[in-house]
Structure 1
Amino acid sequence: MKEKLKGLLAGIAVRIIALVTLGQISPILSACVIIEQDGKVLLIDRSDKLGYTIPGGIVRYKETLEECVRRETSEETGYEIQITGLVGVYSSVERDPRFRAVSIAYKGCIRGGVEHSSVEGQPCWKVPESVLGQMAFDCEHMLNDYLCGQQCLS
C-alpha cells in the first residue's frame, strides 16, 4: 500500500508541475534490465498489486542509466548485475499511468549477490509465458521485444 501511495503522490506532483509549466516539462527517465536464466526471467511481484515488473526504476539526477539499473536491481532483488546489451527505448505517452516516463530497457546477467525482497515487492523467476497479461505498465511489451531474438550473452 505504501508503494502505491508513493506512486500516486509522485504522479500528482508531476502533473502539477506539468500544469504550472504549461506542459513544458521533460518526461521522467527510468531504466530496467531483463535477466534470463534457465528459461526464466527475473521479475518483481509488486507489493502494490499492479502485477509483475522488470527490475529497475527512476534515474537519479547524478547517475548514469547504467548506474541506475545496477542500483535499482540490487535494491529490489539483491543481485549484482552486468549489463550486456540494449533491448529498447519505450516512450509511449501512456506507458506508465502514474506519470509521463520514458524507459530504457537493457538485458543483463547476474554476477553475484543474494536474492532478497524490498518495499517494491518480491523478486521471482518466471517462465515468460506464465506472466503475460499480468504485467504492470509496458513491461510486457519490453519482455516481448526481448523474447523476439534478444538473449543474454555469457
Structure 2
Amino acid sequence: MIEKVKGILAGLAFRLIALLTLGQISPILSACVIIERDGKILLIDRSDGLGYTIPGGIVHYSETVEQCVLREAREETGYDVLLTGFVGVYSSLKRDPRFRAVALAYQGQIVGGTEHGSGEGSTCWQAPGDVFGHMAFDCESMLKDYLSEHQRFS
C-alpha cells in the first residue's frame, strides 16, 4: 500500500512541476534489466497491485543509467547483475500512468547475491506466457522485444 501512495504522490508532484514550467520539463528517466534463467524471467510481483514488472527504477541524479540498473536489481531482487545487452528505449507518452517517463531496458545475467524481495514487491521467476496480460506499465512490450531479439527505439 505504501508503494501505491508513493507512486500517486510522485505523479502529483511531477504534474505540478510540469504545470508550473508550462510543460518545459524533461521526462523522468528509468532503467530496468531483463534476466532469463531456464526459460523463466526474473520479475517483481508489485506490492501496489499493478502487476508484474521487470526489476528497475528511476535514475538518481548522481548515477549513470547503468549504475541505476545494477543498484535497482540489487535492491529489488538481492542479485548482483552483469549487463550483457540492450533491449530498447521506451518513450510512449502513456507508458507509465503515474508520470511522464522514459525507460531504457537492458538484458543481464546474475553474477552473485541471494534472492529476496523488497518494498516494491516479491521476486518471482515466471514463464513469459504466464504473465502476459498481467504486467504493469509497458513491461510486456519490453519482454516481447527481448524474446524476439528486436531492439526498440520508440
TM bin (shorter chain): over 0.9
1:115-149 superposed Cα distances (whole Å, 9 cap, x missing partner): 01100000000000100000000000000000102
Unaligned runs of 5+ in 2: none
1:31-73 superposed Cα distances (whole Å, 9 cap, x missing partner): 0000000000000000000000000000000100110000000
TM-score by structure 1 length?
Answer: 0.96
SS in 1 for 2:118: coil
1:3-152 equivalent positions in 2, closer than 5 A = 3-149=3-149
SS in 2 for 1:10: helix
Q: Which amino acid counterpart does residue 87 of structure 2 have in structure 1?
A: V
Q: Structure 1 residue 106: deviation in Å? A: 0.1
Q: What is the RMSD computed on CA atoms of the aligned residues?
A: 0.6
**Aligned mates of 2:91, 2:107 — CA distance in 1:** 18
Q: How many residues align?
A: 150
Q: Which amino acid counterpart does residue 3 of structure 1 have in structure 2?
A: E
Structure 1 residue runs of 4 or more that deviate by more than 6 Å after TM superposition = none
